[in-house]
Amino acid sequence: MRDDKPGKEPLLRIEGLRVWFEGERNLFARTPPLRAVDGVDLKIEEGETLGLVGESGCGKSTLGRALMRLEEPTQGEIWFAGKNLGAMSGARLREARRDIQMIFQDPLSCLDPRMKVRRIIGEGLAIAGIPKAEREHLDRYPHEFSGGQRQRIGIARALATRPRFIVADEPVSALDVSIQSQIVNLMKDLQAEFGLTYLFIAHDLGVVGYISDRVGVMYLGRIVELADAEELYDNPLMPYTQVLLSAMPEEEARGRKRIIPQGEVPSPRNPPSGCAFRTRCWRARPLCAEQRPELRELRPRHWAACHFAE
C-alpha cells in the first residue's frame, strides 16, 4: 500500500501545468490559443497506477506527452524524482527522460518501419516476456507482427532503458478483447516485477477501472475529479463524471440511470467561463459561470471540482 505521509515527495509532481497551442495570428485571423491542458496539479506516487479518463479532446494525451516534454509546457512545473524536468534541456533532459518512457496506442507509429526489431529494442524483448525461442523475431520488421505482438514490442522498447515511470497512452484500445487482456496482464506483471509507476491514459472506463489505483477524470483541459478507483466508480461526485459513468453500455441495465448531457463539448479555444462543464450541466447556477471551481477534497482522498458537490 502507498503511504500518504505528509512531506514525502511523490515520484511525479505537476503544478499548474498549462499546454496551450498558439492559434493562427495574421492580418486576417486571430484565432485564440487552444487550451489543451489548462491548469493541472497532480501527484503520482511511486509504484501506483494513475488512470486518466476523458473524451477525445479533453487534453489527456497532451498531458501525458507534456510529462515526456514531447509538448512544451506553456506554464507550470513538472517535478520528477525531485528534479525539475521543466528546467532541463539537452543532455540532462535526455538522461532524465531515460527514467520516463511512453507506450502508444498504435505501436507501428512509434516503431521505425525500416529498423529490425533487434535495433529497436535489443534486450527489452526478454523483459517483456518473449521467450528465447522466439528471439528470431529480432530480425523481422515491425509490419511482420500482429497488433498484439507489436504492442509487446512497443512495451519492450519502452522497458529497454529500465524506466521507473511509464506513460501509457491508450495502450490497448486498438487491440481485440482477447489480446487486450494479455497486454493488461503483462503490464500488471511488469509493474509487480520492476516496481513501475504508470500513468494509464484511456477512454475505456472498464480497463481504467480495472488497472488503476486512482483515477482522474479530465474535461476541457482540467482534472475535474480524482479519487481511488473504486470510490470514484461507486460515488462519482462531479456531474460530468456521473455522465461519463452512466454512459458506459449496460450500466443502465445495472440500475444506474443514464444521464444524457445537453449539447456538445465546447471548443477548447473558447472554453466557458467558470466551470467548463456548466454549459451542459443540469445543476449549473449563476455561481458556476462566475467562479472556476477548484478541486476540493470532499471525502477522504476524493477530490472533485464542483461548487455544489458534497
- Interface ranges with another protein (CB under 8 A): 55-56, 146, 148-149, 176-182, 184-185, 188, 203, 205-207, 209-211, 229-230, 233, 243-244, 246-250, 252-253, 258, 260-261, 263-264
* CA distances (Å), origin 228, targets 121, 217, 219, 258, 303: 34, 12, 18, 23, 10
Residue 233 phi/psi, 5° resolution? -75, -30
Residue type, 66: A
Minimum CB distance to another protein smaller for 14 or for 275: 275
Choose between 97 and 214: whose C-beta lies nearer to another protein: 214
77 secondary structure, DSSP code: E
CA-closest candidate to residue 21, choices 55, 59, 54, 56: 59
* Cell 526478454 belongs to residue: 126
Minimum Å distance from CB 35 to another protein?
A: 19
The one-letter amino acid at 70: L
Handedness of CA 230, 235, 239, 242 (dihedral sign): positive
Q: Which residue type occupies 67? A: L
Nearer Cβ to another protein (188/296) = 188
Minimal distance in Å, beta carbon 58 to another protein? 9
Q: Tell me which residue of 166, 187, 160 sits closest to 175, measured CA to CA.
A: 187
Q: Smallest gap, in angstroms, from Cβ of residue 51 to another protein? A: 11
Which is closer to another protein, CB of 5 or CB of 143? Answer: 143
Q: Which is nearer to another protein, 63 or 160 (CB)?
A: 63
Q: Closest separation between CB of residue 244 and another protein, Å?
A: 6
Q: Minimum distance between the CB of residue 288 and another protein, rounded to whole angstroms?
A: 19
